[in-house]
Amino acid sequence: MTKIYQISKAAQIILFIFFPVFIFGQKNISESLAKYMEAQVKVNDFSGTVLVTKNGSVLLKKAYGLADYEWNIKNTIDTKFQLASVTKQFTATAILQLIDNRKLSLNDHLSKFFPDYPKADSVTIHMLLSHSSGLALGFKEIALSSMSVDSAYSQIKKIPYEFSPGTKTEYSNIGYYLLAKIIEKVSGEKYEVFLRKNIFEKAGMKNTGVSNNDSIILKKAKIYCRTEKGFMHNPYINWKINIGHDGIYSTVEDLALWDKALYGTTILSTEMKKLMFTPYSSENWGYGFIINPFYNHGHQLIAHDGGFFGTMTSFNRFTDDKIFVTVLSNNESFSYIIGYGLSAIALQKEVELPYKHYQTKIDTTVYDKYVGKYGNFEIVKIEGRLYYNSLEMELLPESETKFFRADNNDRTIEFIEDKSGICNAVVLTKGGVKETVKRNN
């Protein structure tokens, strides 16, 4: 779920003229979903495709924006998008298939396949799958280089571990890169060939594959990064190296076929699915997915997001509700937040439509009464500015009590005062979904 974040320049200091619009009642879920996406396009310039289904029936399926900015070619529902870290679930599936066929074991050590890799005797397949190996997050500079596969492996081996294998959990792209290479060693086939034969073809995913730097792929969207100067092409990515954790492209319709396949046993046995969907840490990582109840109201969620240089993706399965939500973007739109809002609408929650946020001048002495700990985060004041969790993210005022994050206008925080003027709670808004968090005593 590697994300490429950008801190946007401060908005013009003028009074905001766009006001929140609320969706009440959810009498027509499809209409509400459509209105939400129309606002995402108008306000946040979303480009990509969206699919929301419930019990197999389509609630929203639509394409927005452009697949090619130079030629003004629009995205269509069958436009292919890079999946970024949504790729991981397919890598995990391939590993579990090999385990089910007794060609691998979760207890196998990395040294069995790569004896020259540092600490390889201490790392197991389970650790690689569950992000508990201690391997570092990623190797961005190597992935953007033109070096050979062997040279890349030699360089990746030099990247130090973040912690001793098995002692805690931290997200790792390197772990899934190594899993892809293990698939090749054990199966005797190229990663892309194994996935095509054992996953994509079996699920009927005819518009899904693994990227390379040579093939012409019909109806594949170009990718654009957001900068202060506007949209720019994403940099060169070496797809011979950037595999396992990234590399797969697909369409929203193919991902719906994949969602359907995961309810059956054509791709994975019941035993292997149980292994995949079990959370193995406090962070709730399963194998290739995060497993987490939605809003803590019993809506079981199996999901994964992705992001890498212009690509932003979100894949969400509400297995108790039989709701599927996926968002694919080629212009660095915040798909994971859009997916969060769409999911809430599908679950008939109250959702605020996106609106333009404008920074305004206020008396910054009011910041003092906002400083404190709320739930699992902290609001701090540093040199006359307000921040969410130390210097993690500056909060920009749109009123005396309401602020938006400098990196993302779809995330706001509003400070709530009691009758005596003491701030004792905040309302967090993410993708239009509101949550009240009380101040810690």
Please give the chain's pLDDT, 441 residues, in tens: 343 333 333 333 232 333 344 444 335 999 999 999 999 999 999 999 999 999 999 999 999 999 999 999 999 999 999 999 999 999 999 999 999 999 999 999 999 999 999 999 999 999 999 999 999 999 999 999 999 999 999 999 999 999 999 999 999 999 999 999 999 999 999 999 999 999 999 999 999 999 999 999 999 999 999 998 899 999 999 999 999 999 999 999 999 999 999 999 999 999 999 999 999 998 899 999 999 876 556 799 999 999 999 999 999 999 999 999 999 999 999 999 999 999 999 999 999 999 999 999 999 999 999 999 999 999 999 999 999 987 779 999 999 999 999 988 899 999 999 988 899 999 999 999 999 999 997
Cα(175)–Cα(384) distance, integer angstroms: 42
Task: Tell me if 105 is assigned to some domain.
Answer: yes
> Number of structural domains, the chain?
2
Task: Tell me if 356 is assigned to some domain.
Answer: no
Q: Are residues 130 and 261 in the same domain?
A: yes
CA 11 to chain centre: 26
What ranges in 212-348 are assigned the alpha helix state H?
252-261, 270-276, 335-346
190, 195, 200, 206: CA torsion to nearest 10: -20
pLDDT of residue 16: 30
What H or E segment, with its residue span, contains residue 393?
strand 393-397
- Give me the count of residues in the chain: 441
pLDDT of residue 293: 72
Cα(83)–Cα(207) distance, integer angstroms: 13
pLDDT of residue 228: 87
pLDDT of residue 294: 67
Q: Are residues 104 and 225 in the same domain?
A: yes
* Residues forming beta bridges with residue 402, ordered by sequence position: 414
pLDDT of residue 381: 94
pLDDT of residue 295: 57
Q: Are residues 233 and 258 in the same domain?
A: yes
Q: How many CB atoms lie within 10 A of CB 172?
A: 23
Cα(400)–Cα(221) distance, integer angstroms: 42
Q: Are residues 264 and 171 in the same domain?
A: yes
Q: Extract the runs of DSSP E, i.e. beta strands, from 30-183.
A: 48-54, 57-64, 66-68, 73-74, 81-82
**CB within 8 A of 135, min separation 6: which ones?**
123, 128, 159, 161, 162, 172, 174, 175, 178
Select from 330, 328, 327 the least CA-distant residue to 341.
Answer: 327
Q: Dig out the tokens for 397 from the structure.
A: 């005022």
Q: Angle between the 149-156 and 173-187 helix axes, to the nearest 10 degrees?
A: 130
Domain containing 393 equals: 364-438
Cα(428)–Cα(359) distance, integer angstroms: 18
Q: Are residues 307 and 370 in the same domain?
A: no
Cα(436)–Cα(426) distance, integer angstroms: 6
Q: How many CB atoms lie within 10 A of CB 301?
A: 21
Task: Tell me if 26 is assigned to some domain.
Answer: no
